[in-house]
Structure 1
Amino acid sequence: MIQEEMKDIREGKIQAPKVVLMNSFLWDLTRWGPMKEDQYKKDLVKTFKIFKRSLPEDTLVVWLATMPVATEKVKGGVFIKQ
């Protein structure tokens, strides 16, 4: 989906945004194992290359990151035994 949007921006079909808000849940990486971390890094590099190619220099990219939750101290229905 993001690739299609960026292509449309490059082709002038849609206007580039002034702000891009990215939200990353780093906690998700702890759920899927070490191989997913490698893929996450590759996808991140690919995403920012697409941004650099497609967005004007004055577009502000804001990166939000939610750190992993300490599952040994927090209890709730969404946490699985690690």
Structure 2
Amino acid sequence: MAERKPFLLRIDRAVLDGLQRWAGDDLRSLNAQIEFVLRRALEQAGRLKPGRGGLGGPEGPPSSKSERGFTPRERKTGEAEPPGPRR
């Protein structure tokens, strides 16, 4: 298992609230959700190879998608997750 380092994060309250709601919808802890979002952004930017860098741990892989590619929220509502903001 990859080493996990504690890290203090100062974050805007609205961003934190949004992350907490998203984490709850996807049945993840807030920490796992933050790591999921950061990992996905790094992969999309080409700064982290897909499937590398500390997968696993007490909360399992950072993605809660099933083999068919649906999050728990998508299975419950039948709606796809909206794409995240582009920068």
TM bracket, shorter-chain basis: under 0.3
Larger radius of gyration: 1
Instruction: Using structure 1 for the length normalisation, give the TM-score.
Output: 0.26
Could you say which structure has the higher strand fraction? 1
Instruction: Using structure 2 for the length normalisation, give the TM-score.
Output: 0.25
Could you say which structure has the higher helix fraction? 1
